[in-house]
Amino acid sequence: MADAIRTPELHLSEGCLSPAGDWTLLALGSHANRLRQELAAAKANRWDLSALTRLDSFGALLLWRAWGGRLPADMVLPDGYATQFERLAAMDEAPVPHPPRVGVVDVVAGLGGALLGLFAHLGDFLALIGRLALDCLHLLGRPRNWPLKEFSANLYKVGVKAMPVSALVGFLIGVVLSYLSALQLKAFGADIFIVNILGLGIIRELGPVLVSVLVAGRSGSAMTAQLGVMRVTEEVDALTVMGISNYIRLVLPKVMALSVAMPLLVLWTSAVALVGGMMSAELQLGLSYGYFIETLPKVVPAANLFIALGKGAVFGVLIALVACHFGLRVKPNTESLSANTTASVVTSITLVILVDAVFAIATRSIGVPL
Amino acid sequence: MTTPVLSLRGLSTRFGSNWVHKGVDLDIPPGEVVSLVGGSGSGKTTLLRQMVGLLTPTEGEVRVFDEPLFAGSREAQRQRRRRFAMCFQGGALFSAFTVYENIAFPLREAGIATEAEIRELVALKLTMVELLPSHAALMPAELSGGMIKRVALARALALEPELLLLDEPTAGLDPTRSASFVALIRDLQQQLGLTVVLVTHDLDTLAALSSKVAVLAERRILAFDSLEAVMQVDHPFIQEFFLSERSARALARAQGA
Ligand SMILES: Nc1ncnc2c1ncn2[C@@H]1O[C@H](COP(=O)(O)OP(=O)(O)O)[C@@H](O)[C@H]1O
Ligand SMILES: [Mg+2]
C-alpha cells in the first residue's frame, strides 16, 4: 500500500491545472488553507486529474467548489474518480436544510413552553401518585403480588448503606453546633441550656432535613438515573409489554423503602448528632454525659420525636416520588438523563424544605416547651 | 510482500475463567475486504474491540499500520486512530446529538474543513448511505434500526479512514439497502484502497463483497483465504455455515449477479 503520504499540490502548466499527490482529509490537514487559496486564484480552465494519487470526498469537494459545482468542460478525469463527482452532484440536489434561526417569537414561545412545562410536571406528578394509589388498591387483595423482594433490596440500598455517611455527617454537625453554641452560652452563664438547644434543634429540625438532603443526593439521584437508563434501554417498555405494572415493580418498592428507611435514618442520625454534641459539650463546658442524658427527655417533649419521625416518612415518600417522576420522564438520550437527574435532586431538596416550613407552621404549638 | 494493515499475533482473550480466543493470528493485507464469520458468541465483536484498542487482549499483540496500537506519543496515537474507524454493532451514535451533529462531530474535531464544507460533507455522507437530507435533524432515538446502522456508517466514513471495521453492518437493513451498502463499500474500496474488516452473517453481503474470509471458531482463526478456498476446508462449522442449502442458494445468487 502507498503508506507514505504524498503532499497535495496544485500544479499549473500551459494553462492546465493539475492537482497532484494525496487529496485526502488526512494529507490535506495543514495544506487545506493554502490549496483553498490556490484554487480560488487559479484561472485556467483546463484540468488534469491524472496526477492524483488519492482523492477522497473532502479533496473532491474542494475541487468541486472551485469548479462552481459542475465538471469543467475540458478535463482529464481518470475513471475511478468519476463516481466521486457524481455523488457530489447528487448531493447538490439534496442539500441539508439549515436549522431554523431562533427569533423573538421563539424566545417568547420558549417562555410559554417553560410555564406550560411546569403545569405538565404538576399534572404528571399527580398522575404518578394517582396511578400508584390505584395500583396499591389493586394490590390490597393480592398479598402475593406485593413487590417485597424489591422492597427489601431497596431498603438495604437506601437505608443500611446510607448509615455510615449519615452518621459521619450527623456526628460532625453535632460537634460543631455544640461547640459554637457553647461559646455563646458560656458568655451568659447559661451552660446547661445547651441540652435544650441541641435536643430541640437536632431532633425536631436538623435531623430530618439533614437526612433528607443526604438521601436526596444519594438515593434520589440513583433512583432517577436507574429509571432513566431503564427508559433509554427500553427496559421499562419491556416490562409494560409483559403486562407488569411499572408502578408496582419500579416505583412502589422505592416509595415503600424510603418511607420506612427515612424515619429510621432520621432517628439514627439525630442520635449520633446528639452524641457528638454531648461529647463536645463535655469537653467545652464540662457537662457530664450523665447530666446530658438525664436532662434531655425533660427538656425535649416526646412529641418532637414523633414529629421528626413523621417528617422523615413524609420526606422519604416525597423524595422517592420526585425521583421516580423525573426518572420516568427521561427521553432516550444522555442529555435528558443528566438534566432529569439534576432536576430530581434539586426539586426534591427544594420540596423537602418547603414542606418542612409547612410542618413548622402546622406544628408550632406542639412539643415546644414555653 | 506488502506489510499488513492490521495484524494480530498470538492473541488470547479471557473473561473470568472463560477463554474466548486462544492464539489468534491474523494478517490483513491492504486493500482487502475481509469478512469475519463465526458462530454467535464466538468472540467476533470482542476481536474487533481489541483491534481498535477498546479491550486489551489477555495475551498477544495488535499491530495497525505496522506499529503497535499504543506506540508513540499522544499525538502519534491520535494520528493513527484517525486512520481507522469502527462501526459498532448497536450504532453507538451520540444520543444527545442530531444525525447531522453525529456525522459532523469527527470532522469538527479534526479541524480541517470549514463549517460550510462540513455541511456539504455531511450532506454527501448522507447521500452515500442513502439517507434523506431531512433525516439530518432527527435524534438517534427517532431512527429505525436500519437507519441507525447507516448513520453509524456515515459517521465512520466522515474522517475518510483507511481501515474500516464494521460489526454486522447489514443486520437490520432491507435487501435493497444491503445491496447498495455493498456497492458503496466496493466503490470506496476501489477509489481509496480502503481496507475493510466486517463481521457478518449475511451470506449475500459476504459473497458479494469479501475478497477474503476469516473463520473464527474453536477460539482461533480456522481458515483465512478466499471464499472458494475456505469453502473447501473440511470442518463441521464451515460445512454447516457455507454448504447448507440456504447458504448454497445465497452463494449461487451472488455468483449469478
Ligand atoms: N465484557 C465481557 N465480560 C465477560 N464476557 C464477555 C464480555 N464480552 C463478551 N463476553 C463473552 O465473550 C464471548 C464473545 O462475545 P462477542 O464477541 O460479543 O460474540 P460475537 O461473536 O457474537 O460478537 C461471549 O461468550 C460473551 O459472553
Ligand atoms: Mg457481536
Q: What is the CATH number of the domain that holds B224?
A: 3.40.50.300
Residue B48 alpha carbon, nearest atom of ligand 1: 17
Taking 90 as the threshold, does the pLDDT of residue A191 lie above it? no
Contact (Cβ atoms closer than 8 angstroms) between residue B210 and residue B227: yes
Residue range A276-284: average pLDDT?
93
Taking 50 as the threshold, does the pLDDT of residue B188 lie above it? yes
Q: Does residue A181 share a domain with residue A277?
A: yes
| Cβ–ligand 1 contact at B70 (below 6 Å) | no
Q: Is B102 part of any domain?
A: no
Contacts 24+ apart (CB under 8 A), B56-59: B57/B11, B57/B12, B57/B13, B57/B21, B58/B12, B58/B13, B58/B14, B59/B10, B59/B11, B59/B12
Q: Is B196 part of any domain?
A: yes
How would DSSP label each residue in A122-140?
Answer: HHHHHHHHHHHHHHHHHHH
B66 Cα–ligand 2 center, Å: 26
Q: B72: domain range?
A: 6-88+161-255
B43 Cα–ligand 1 center, Å: 6
Select from A93, A111, A130 the last residue of a domain: A93
Residue range B218-239: average pLDDT?
88
**Closest CA to ligand 1's atom 23:** B45
Select from A93, A109, A140 the last residue of a domain: A93
Nearest CA in chain A to B195: A1
Look at chain A and report how many structural domains it folds into. Answer: 2
Q: Is B150 part of any domain?
A: no
Identify all chain B residues contacting A54, using CB atoms and an 8 Å cutoff: 192-193
**Predicted confidence band at B1 (pLDDT cuts at 50, 70, 90)?**
low
B41 Cα–ligand 1 center, Å: 6
Q: Is A100 part of any domain?
A: no
Tell me which residue in A1, A29, A65 faces B5 most closely, judged by beta carbons.
A1
> What pLDDT, in 10s, does the model give residues A65-100?
888 888 888 888 888 788 888 888 888 888 888 888
Alpha carbons B177 and A370: distance in angstroms, whole number: 82
**Closest CA to ligand 1's atom 12:** B43
For an interface test with B, give the residue of A22, A58, A234 to mutate (most B CBs within 10 A): A58
| Cβ-based burial of A216 (10 A; exposed 0-12, middle 13-18, buried ≥19) | buried
Q: How far, CA to CA in Å, does B141 sit from each of A108, A176, A218, B105?
A: 28, 50, 29, 18
Q: Does residue A172 share a domain with residue A136?
A: yes
**Closest CA to ligand 1's atom 10:** B15
What is the pLDDT, as a whole number, of residue A1?
41
Residue B199 alpha carbon, nearest atom of ligand 1: 23
Question: pTM (2 decimals)?
Answer: 0.82
State whether B160 and A3 contact (CB < 8 Å): no
> What pLDDT, in 10s, does the model give residues A130-165?
999 999 898 888 888 888 999 999 999 999 999 999
* Amino acid identity, position B40: S
Mean pLDDT of chain A: 90
State whether B30 and A95 contact (CB < 8 Å): no
The half-sphere exposure of B36 on its side-chain side, counting CA atoms within 13 A, is 28
| Cβ–ligand 1 contact at B77 (below 6 Å) | no
**Cell of residue B251, nine digits:** 452463494
Taking 50 as the threshold, does the pLDDT of residue A362 lie above it? yes
Q: Is B1 part of any domain?
A: no
Residue range A112-126: average pLDDT?
93
Q: Does residue A187 share a domain with residue A309?
A: yes
| Cβ–ligand 1 contact at B15 (below 6 Å) | yes
Q: Does residue A326 share a domain with residue A276?
A: yes
Taking 60 as the threshold, does the pLDDT of residue B49 lie above it? yes
State whether A232 and B65 contact (CB < 8 Å): no
> What pLDDT, in 10s, does the model give residues B63-100?
998 888 888 888 888 888 888 899 998 889 998 899 99
Q: Is B82 part of any domain?
A: yes
| Cβ–ligand 1 contact at B40 (below 6 Å) | yes
Q: A19: domain range?
A: 9-93
What is the pLDDT, as a whole number, of residue A2?
45
**Predicted confidence band at B103 (pLDDT cuts at 50, 70, 90)?**
very high
> What pLDDT, in 10s, does the model give residues B130-163?
889 899 999 999 998 888 988 999 999 998 888 9
**Predicted confidence band at A53 (pLDDT cuts at 50, 70, 90)?**
confident
* Amino acid identity, position A328: L
State whether A334 and B112 contact (CB < 8 Å): no
Q: Does residue A174 share a domain with residue A288?
A: yes
Tell which phi-psi region holds residue B29, choosing left (phi > 0), alpha (psi between -120 and 50) or beta. beta
Q: Does residue A196 share a domain with residue A47?
A: no
Tell me which residue in B5, B121, B137 faces A57 most closely, judged by beta carbons.
B121
Note whether B220 contacts A: Cβ–Cβ < 8 A.
Answer: no
Look at chain B and report how many structural domains it folds into. Answer: 1
Q: Is B104 part of any domain?
A: no
Residue range B174-196: average pLDDT?
83
> What pLDDT, in 10s, does the model give residues A323-339?
999 999 999 888 999 99
> What pLDDT, in 10s, does the model give residues A16-46?
888 888 888 888 888 888 888 888 887 777 8
Nearest ligand to the C-alpha of residue B44? 1
State whether A26 and B160 contact (CB < 8 Å): yes
| Cβ–ligand 1 contact at B50 (below 6 Å) | no
State whether A91 and B124 contact (CB < 8 Å): yes
Note whether A2 contacts B: Cβ–Cβ < 8 A.
Answer: yes
Residue B89 alpha carbon, nearest atom of ligand 1: 23
Q: Is B94 part of any domain?
A: no
Q: Does residue A139 share a domain with residue A77?
A: no
B191 Cα–ligand 2 center, Å: 29
Tell which phi-psi region holds residue A365, choosing left (phi > 0), alpha (psi between -120 and 50) or beta. alpha
Mean pLDDT of chain B: 88
Q: Is A193 part of any domain?
A: yes
Note whether B176 contacts A: Cβ–Cβ < 8 A.
Answer: no
Q: Does residue A136 share a domain with residue A15?
A: no
Q: Is B127 part of any domain?
A: no
B69 Cα–ligand 2 center, Å: 22
What is the pLDDT, as a whole number, of residue B256?
66
